[in-house]
Amino acid sequence: MKRYLTDMTTVLVWLSVFIDSGITASGAPLLTVQSAHVPFPSGNYLFLYQFVYVVPHLLTSSVAEHVSLRVHPILGLAITLLLSSVSVYMQYISFASGSLFLFFVARLLSGLFKHEKTLLSKVGSTFEGLGERVGWASFLGTFGGLLAAGYLADHVPDGVRIMYIIFMMELLAAGCLLIAYAQSAHVPIDRTRDAHYTTFVKNTFRSDSNRRHLGYLLLLTCAASVYQCMYAVLPTKSFGLPNLFTGGHYVVSLVAQSTVSKFVVGRLPGSPHRILQYALSVLFIGFLVVDYAQERGPFVYYPVSLLTIDIPAGVATIACTKLILQNVKKTETALMSRLVRHTILTAKLFGVPLRICLTEFLLNGSVAAALLAVPSIVFMLCVLAGCSKNMTVSSTVLTVSAVLSQLYF
C-alpha cells in the first residue's frame, strides 16, 4: 500500500535531514577549533576517540533495527536526533570546561544513539517518493554544513559559541521531525521485518568472494583516508588559507568522489574488476607524487590531489562496491549497502589515528602515510592481477622496505 505525506510534512522532514547532515559533516572545518579547546595529548587518544564511537555504533545497530519496526519511522528518527543533541550538548560543555573526559563521553553517546542512516532509510522506504528527496537533503546538507562550519570557524572566535549554535540547530532538526510526526502519526506503517542485519553479516563473511572484496574496500578506503585527512589542516597550517576554504575543498572532494567518479566509471570500458585495477594504479601514482605537490604550494597540490587521489579513490570505491553487490540477492541489496557503508566508515575513522600514531613513532608524516597506503595498493594490484602468493608477499615487502628507506636517504 502506498503511503504519502503532505507537502508540509515532507518539507519538515527534508529540513531536519538537511540540518542534521550538515552538523554531521561540520567536524572537519572545525578541527582547528576543537584542538584549541580540547586537544588530544597524542595519537593514541584519537584512536580511542574513534574506538568509543565505532564499537558502540556497530553493537547498537541491531537495536536501531528493532526500534524502526516498533515505532513510527519519523518518531524514531526524531528520538535519535534528540539523543544526538545530548551528545552535542556534552561537546559544548567539554569545550567550555576544556574537559577531555566529557569530550569522550559525548563521542560515546553519539556512537550509542546516532543511527540516523538506519532510521532514515526506513522513512524513505515507508513513504512514497520521500526516499529520493531525503537523499538529496542529506547530500546538500553535507555541503552546506562544510561551508557553514568553515565560515563559523573564521568569523566566530569563540568555539564554545559555535558548539552552542550547533546544539540549537540539532534541537531544531529534532523539533521539525516531532511536528512532522504529529502530522503523520495517523498513517499506517508496515511493520514486516527484513532480514536481520547481524545474521546477514555472519552469512556474508562465509563467502570467500565477499571477504576478499570487502577487504579490498577496507584497504583502499583506509589508504585514501590517510592522505585525505590532511585536507582538514593543510589549508590553515601550511598554506595560510581560511577555514572556509577547508570546507569548500571538502565539498569539491566529495563531488569528485561521488558525481565525477560515477561519470568516469560510466565512461570507462571493461568490468568492475578491470576498472578497479585502473583506479588503483592511478591511486598508487598519486600517493607517490602528492607530497611533492604539497611542497610546491596550493596551486599544484589541490589539482594533483583531486586528479590522482580523490577521483581514483571514488572510482575504486564504486567499482569495488559493484563487485560486492553483483552476487547479492535483490532483497538483500539494502543490507549489503549498509555493510559497505559501515566498512567505509570504519576505515575512514581509523585511517587518521593510524597515520598520527605512526607519525609519532617514525617522526616523519610523509613516510607514515606512505607506509600505510602504498603497500596496501601494491598488495591489491598483485592479487587482482592473479599473482602467486609468493609474488604478492615479496612485492609488498619490497614496497615496505622502499618506503622505510626514505627515513635514511
Q: What is the DSSP letter of 297?
A: -
Query: pLDDT digit string (tens) for 216-246?
Result: 999 999 999 999 888 888 888 888 889 899 8
Q: What is the 3-state secondary structure (H, E, C) of the chain?
A: CCCCCCHHHHHHHHHHHHHHHHHHHCCCCCHHHHHHHCCCCCHHHHHHHHHHHHHHHHHCHHHHHHHHHHCCHHHHHHHHHHHHHHHHHHHHHHHHHCCHHHHHHHHHHHHHHCCHHHHHHHHHHHCCCHHHHHHHHHHHHHHHHHHHHHHHHHHCCCHHHHHHHHHHHHHHHHHHHHHHHHHHCCCCCCCCCCCCHHHHHHHHCCCHHHHHHHHHHHHHHHHHHHHHHHHHCHHHHHCCCCHHHHHHHHHHHHHHHHHHHHHHHHHCCCCHHHHHHHHHHHHHHHHHHHHHHHHCCHHHHHHHHHHHHHHHHHHHHHHHHHHHHCCCCHHHHHHHHHHHHHHHHHHHHHHHHHHHHHHHHHCCHHHHHHHHHHHHHHHHHHHHCCCCHHHHHHHHHHHHHHHHHHHCC
Half-sphere exposure of 125 (CA within 13 A, CB side): 14
C-alpha grid cell for residue 215? 577487504
| pLDDT of 30 | 87
271 Cβ contact partners less than 8 Å away, ≥ 6 residues apart: none
Q: How far apart are CA 171 and CA 82, in angstroms?
A: 7
Taking CA atoms, 407 is separated from 194, 295, 382, 396, 397, in Å, by 53, 18, 26, 18, 16
Q: 234 versus 87: which is more confidently predicted? A: 87
Q: In this prediction, what percent of the chain has a pLDDT beyond 90?
A: 36
What is the pLDDT, as a whole number, of residue 168? 95
**Residue 342's closest CA among 213, 251, 218?**
218
pLDDT band at 409 (very low <50, low <70, confident <90, very high): low
Which of these ranges, 36-45, 57-66, 136-145, 376-385, has the smallest mean pLDDT?
57-66
**138 or 403, higher pLDDT:** 138
User: Per residue in 152-201, pLDDT tens?
Assistant: 999 987 889 999 999 999 999 999 999 988 887 666 666 655 567 777 88
Q: Residue 221: what pLDDT?
A: 92
Query: Mean pLDDT over residues 248-268, rounded?
Result: 92
* Helix 61-70, helix 73-97: angle, nearest 10: 140
Q: Grid coordinates in use for 44?
A: 593514541
315 or 237, higher pLDDT = 315
Give the tens place of pLDDT for each residue, 346-404: 888 888 888 888 777 776 777 888 888 888 899 898 988 877 787 888 888 888 777 77
Mean pLDDT over the full length of the chain: 86
Residue 284: φ, ψ to 5°: -60, -45
Q: Which grid coordinates are listed for 35?
A: 584542538
Over residues 288-298, the mean pLDDT reads 89
* Residues 14 and 138 sit within 8 Å (Cβ to Cβ): no
- Amino acid in position 352: V
Cα Rg of the chain, angstroms: 22
Q: Is the pLDDT of residue 307 over 50?
A: yes
pLDDT for the residue 28:
82
Q: What structural domains and CATH numbers belong to the chain?
A: 7-184 (1.20.1250.20), 196-408 (1.20.1250.20)
User: What's the mean pLDDT in 286-306?
Assistant: 91
At residue 5 the predicted structure's pLDDT band, cuts being 50, 70 and 90, is low
pLDDT band at 107 (very low <50, low <70, confident <90, very high): very high
Region 127-148: mean pLDDT is 85
pTM, two decimals, is 0.88
pLDDT at 279 over 90: yes
Give pLDDT, residue 190.
61
pLDDT band, residue 146 (cuts 50/70/90): very high
What confidence score (pLDDT) does residue 3 get? Answer: 52
Among 50-59, 80-89, 385-394, name the one with the lowest average pLDDT. Answer: 385-394
Q: Where are the alpha helices (DSSP H) in 229-325?
A: 243-255, 261-267, 272-295, 298-305, 311-325
Average pLDDT (279-305) is: 91
Confidence of residue 1 (pLDDT cuts 50, 70, 90): very low
Q: Phi/psi of residue 157, each to 5°?
A: -70, -25
For residues 401 and 406, what is the distance between their CA atoms, to the nearest angstrom? 9
pLDDT at 315 over 60: yes
Q: What is the pLDDT of residue 2?
A: 44
pLDDT of residue 363: 67
CA distance 106 to 308: 36
